[in-house]
Amino acid sequence: IFNDSHKSELNYRRYYMKELSQKAQLTVEDVQLLLGVSQSHAYKVIRELNKELTDKGFYVVRGKVSQKFFNEKFYGINRWED
């Protein structure tokens, strides 16, 4: 059974996930929410993914990661493919 604070948290998460789907780049806060990890671990994940992109010749923004690449690496899918 959910009380009002649980319901508002669920509504916030639904809203945030909808907004998140519109972003091209994920921030550390986004990665924290998606993976349920600490801020330091989220930064580590972003650094590792960005290193892989850099090694492939892509430009990256420090502290952010491509949502498309993140989804491919963590879920093995690209949600935006037709």
Of 80, 60, 78, residue with least CA distance to 69? 78
Tell me what pLDDT residue 3 has: 65
Tell me what pLDDT residue 33 has: 87
Phi and psi angles of residue 64, each rounded to the nearest 5 degrees, phi first: -135, 160
As a residue count, the chain comes to 82
Non-local (6+) Cβ contacts of 66 within 8 A are 24, 25, 26, 49, 53, 60
Query: Tens digit of pLDDT for each residue in 43-77?
Result: 999 999 999 999 999 999 999 999 999 999 988 86
Q: What pTM, to 2 d.p., does this model score? A: 0.73
Query: Tens digit of pLDDT for each residue in 17-42?
Result: 777 778 899 999 999 988 999 999 99
The angle at the Cα of 28, spanning 43 to 16, to the nearest 5 degrees, equals 155
